[in-house]
Structure 1
Amino acid sequence: MTAGCFVTGTDTGVGKSIVAGGLAALLKNSGCNVGVMKPVATGGKYHNNRLVSDDALFLMSAAEIDDDYELINPICFEQPIAPTIAAQLNNTTIDLEKIRHAFDILCKRHDFMIVEGVGGLLVPVNEHYFIIDLAREFKLPLIVVSRLSLGTINHTLLTLSYAREHGVNIKGIIFNDHADTNDCLKNYTVKEIKRFTNVPVLGTIPFDKRLDVENYHKETVLKIFSDNVDKNIII
């Protein structure tokens, strides 16, 4: 079994990439041979005539690796929509074998893999295959990223319940702070989720404008994640 974790979210835009990249930077800084992967990405942009994902580039920078981009992000679409819809609009299908082959190669090169999903667990990859199926196939425990805002209790409980029902191991939750949420709501949200799930809280990432996928600042990321996440419980 590959050592690592699969970073998923309770929704889109909750901070999965920041968390996945922050964990990669933290482990890399501690001497771990960490690899990263963003199997499927949407909302890609063209850089030097090549369609790439900012999330995938951020992961590569954070982990300080030189693996081929195509291994890190085998599937990328320009449209910022669900992968299956993007594939339909591009008259193609998502090649799962390409994803599996890339994952196998990366696992042989690295001691610990951090894989970031797209959206939440029930984002479809094809007609009968979802992101949760990818996590289950890779045999990686989940780290669930939850945004500290109104609605998070419901979203988090649903995500954890579905993962458990489908036999996916859950390593824990990382909360990502939201600028507009008051402290009372934040504190009670975390307490309620702990009370209902008994799932470990691995850390809470404070809101900081410098945590930016498109403008990676190594020292900032390392400081924030070192102060708020125990790397020893991630590995």
Structure 2
Amino acid sequence: MSIGWFVVGTDTGIGKTHATCALLHALARRHARVCGMKPIAAGGVQTPDGLSNEDSIAHRAASTVRVRPELDNPILLPEPLSPHLAAARAGTAISFDTVLDAVTELRTRTDALVVEGAGGFLVPLSETQTGADLAAALGLPLVLVVGMRLGCLNHALLTAEAIRARGLALAGWIANRVDPDFLCPEENLAYLRTHLGAPLWADLPFSARPDPRADADRFMLPDVL
């Protein structure tokens, strides 16, 4: 059974996929079989192999093992909407069992598995379930990606509080500098290092063309990983 983490974000559009791919490259320096997974993706692009998701395509490029799309992206919804709306418009329902079955199989095929959630931690997946419920069902330790921009302190602390309120483990966090004009970035980073209650795994710089392989150098992973 592989080690694994569930990557969540403080919001959408904060570079969660880039951080996930950089983490995959960092883990690949320690483990032979590393794989990224997007259990629920909303928004597809046409490829020679059919409909796919840009996040999943990025994960596959950063992974060291290739698996069937039904495993690394078991639920693909065509429209780029909140998952509960995308599922409703597609006339389907998001099944946790489908996700859990895929995760179980992937953990037998890999040494390290990184599962990227959709949107923020509490993104709706149905009228009654959210990304937090999926995190609880998976039972994996969480890694929080913080988009370093105005409002990040509140968003990060609220997300960490919501994670711990559900009895889940926050293994670490990744600072992603998504706003080049963000004022006082070092002071904000220092505040989160003091108050977030989890180790900083990486501080990723702003780049107009971020390179996850290069950013793997910025990770300070615990020795136990």
The aligned residue for residue 229 of structure 1 is 219
Distance 2:81 2:137 in 1: 24
Partner SS for 2:120: coil
The aligned residue for residue 214 of structure 1 is none
Higher helix share: 1
Partner SS for 1:119: strand
Q: Which runs of 5+ in 1 are unaligned?
A: 212-219
Write out aligned runs for 1:112-191 (5 A): 112-182=112-182, 184-191=183-190
Q: Is the 8 A contact 1:153 1:189 kept in 2?
A: yes
Distance 2:120 2:89 in 1: 21
Counterpart residue type for residue 192 of structure 1: Y
Partner SS for 2:84: helix
Distance 1:119 1:234 in 2: 28
Percent identity reads: 31
For residues 65-94 of structure 1, give each alpha carbon's deviation from its aligned partner in whole angstroms, at most 9, with x where no partner exists. 210111100111121111110111111111
Distance 1:194 1:29, change over 3 A: closer
Distance 2:125 2:153 in 1: 26
Write out aligned runs for 1:1-235 (5 A): 3-48=3-48, 50-182=50-182, 184-211=183-210, 220-226=211-217, 228-232=218-222, 235=225
Q: Is the 8 A contact 2:27 2:112 kept in 1?
A: no
Q: Is the 8 A contact 1:2 1:140 kept in 2?
A: no
Q: CA deviation at 1:197?
A: 2.7
Q: Is the 8 A contact 2:31 2:112 kept in 1?
A: no
Structure 1 window deviating more from structure 2 (161-170 vs 48-57): it is: 48-57
For residues 42-63 of structure 1, give each alpha carbon's deviation from its aligned partner in whole angstroms, at most 9, with x where no partner exists. 1211223722111011101101
Q: What is the aligned length? A: 225
Distance 1:233 1:177, change over 3 A: farther
Q: Is the 8 A contact 2:15 2:178 kept in 1?
A: no
Distance 2:152 2:203 in 1: 14
Counterpart residue type for residue 82 of structure 2: A
Q: Is the 8 A contact 1:36 1:114 kept in 2?
A: yes
Q: Which runs of 5+ in 2 are unaligned?
A: none
With structure 1 as the length reference, what TM-score do the two structures score?
0.89
Partner SS for 2:28: helix
Distance 2:107 2:30 in 1: 19
Counterpart residue type for residue 64 of structure 1: T
Counterpart residue type for residue 212 of structure 2: V
Partner SS for 1:189: helix
Distance 1:222 1:49, change over 3 A: closer
With structure 2 as the length reference, what TM-score do the two structures score?
0.93
Moved over 4 A (4+): none
For residues 2-36 of structure 1, give each alpha carbon's deviation from its aligned partner in whole angstroms, at most 9, with x where no partner exists. 52111100000111100111111121233442222
